[in-house]
Amino acid sequence: MVYSPTQFQKGLSLPAFLERYGTEGRCVHALFTARWPEGFKCPECGGNEYCVLAARGLYQCNACRRQTSVKAGTIFHKTYLPLTKWFLAMHLLTQGKHSMSALELKRQLGVSYETAWKVKHKLMQVMLEREKGRILSGRIEADDAYIGGESHGGKRGRGAPGKAPMLAAVQTSPEEELANCKVSYLKVQAVSDFRSRTIRRWAQGSLAGTATVHTDGMSSFRAIREVAPDHQPYEMEGGWRNSRHPAFKWVNTILGNLKGNLVGVCRWISAKHLPRYLAEFQWRFNRRFDLASILSRLLISSAHTPPMPMKLLVLAEVGR
C-alpha cells in the first residue's frame, strides 16, 4: 500500500503540544517570541529597554514609560480567556483532518458556546487576513461554485435562490506534467455575483499576469484576459459531466472536499460569515505540507493581526 507523505506526516501530537504549551507561562513566552522575535519593542516609541511589572503582567518601556501587555494590539486583545485555552483552540483547529465546529470547540475547551464562537471566528479572521494577498501563478484551474441553497426542489445551478456564490482557483504543476499533476496552492473567495466586473476584480487580487488560466465557457470569465491574457476557456456540456473534464480535475476535487468539510462540520453557514470559513479551508490547505509548524505559524499571524471587536466580527465580509 502506498502512503502519501503529506497525509501521514507526524504533525504536532497532543503530548508534544502539552509539553510545549501546557502552562500559561509557556504560552505567554511563546506569544512574546512570536510578537517580538528580536526582543521587546515598545509600540509607542520603538524602545527596546523595558522592565516587567510581574504583579500586573505588563511590560514597561524604560524610555517613554508606556505600559503594554503581550496581548495588547493582537487578536488576543482584551481577552479574559487564558492563553492555554486559546492555544488549545489553535491546536484543535490546525491538526485535524477537518475543521471543528464552535459547538465541538465549546466542549473541548470547557467554555460557553458564545466564547467558543468568538475564539473560532477570531482565529479564522487571522487566516483570512493572512490569505488576502495570495497570488496564484503558473498553470491555474478556476471555476465558479455555490455553497448552500435548497437541498431538494427549486431551481438548480447558477441563479438558484439561497445559494452563496464563490470563485475557486488552484495552482498546479505545468501542463507538460499534467499526467502526474500536483496542486500547490488554493485561492477560494466568496463573491457577490459572477458578473464580468466581479470576475475582473477577483482576478486582479488573485492571479499573476503571467498565469495560464483554464476555465469553462461562462462569458464573464473573459474578463480574466484583462489581467492574465493567457486564458483558455472550454465549452462544457454542463451538469455532472463538467467534473470529469481533465482540465478541471483538481479544482473540482478540491471543491468537493471543501463542500464536504463545510457541510460535515457546520451543516449551515451564514453568507456573511462564509468568507472566514473559506479562508480557514484555504489557509489549512496551503500549509498542509508541514503540520508540525502550522500552529506556530498561526500564532505568529495572530500576534500581528489587529484586534477584532465583536461589533466588527459580526459584520458581513462578502467581497463586493
Q: Where are the beta strands (DSSP E) in 173-301?
A: 183-190, 212-216, 231-234
What is the rounded average pLDDT of the residues 288-294? 91
Cross-strand pairs, 185: 171
The per-residue pLDDT for 96 is: 85
The per-residue pLDDT for 120 is: 96
The per-residue pLDDT for 161 is: 60
> What is the enclosing helix (H) or strand (E) of 70?
none
The per-residue pLDDT for 158 is: 56
What is the rounded average pLDDT of the residues 3-30? 89
Three-state SS at 270: coil
pLDDT band at 263, cuts 50/70/90? confident
Q: Is the pLDDT of residue 113 over 80?
A: yes
> Above pLDDT 90, what percent of the chain?
68
Q: Which residues contact 267 (CB under 8 A, 6 or more apart)?
A: none
Q: Which residues contact 196 (CB under 8 A, 6 or more apart)?
A: 219, 220, 222, 223
What is the rounded average pLDDT of the residues 258-262? 88
The per-residue pLDDT for 242 is: 64
Cross-strand pairs, 166: 145, 190
What is the CB-side half-sphere exposure of residue 67 using CA atoms within 13 A? Answer: 7
pLDDT band at 318, cuts 50/70/90? very low
The position carrying cell 506526516 is 9
The per-residue pLDDT for 202 is: 97
Q: Is the pLDDT of residue 320 over 50?
A: no
pLDDT in tens, 295-314: 999 999 999 999 998 888 88
Q: Measured between alpha carbons, how far is 187 from 53 in angstroms, rounded to an integer?
A: 44
Q: Which of 4-13, 121-130, 230-239, 255-264 has the highest mean pLDDT?
A: 121-130
pLDDT in tens, 148-186: 754 555 555 555 566 889 999 999 988 666 566 788 999
As a whole number of Å, the end-to-end CA separation of the chain is 47
Pairing of strands 139-148, 212-216: parallel
Select the more confidently predicted residue: 180 or 88.
88
Helix, strand, coil share (%) of the chain residues, nearest 5:
45, 15, 40
Domains of the chain and CATH, by start: 139-272 (3.30.420)
Q: Is the whole-model pTM more than 0.75?
A: yes
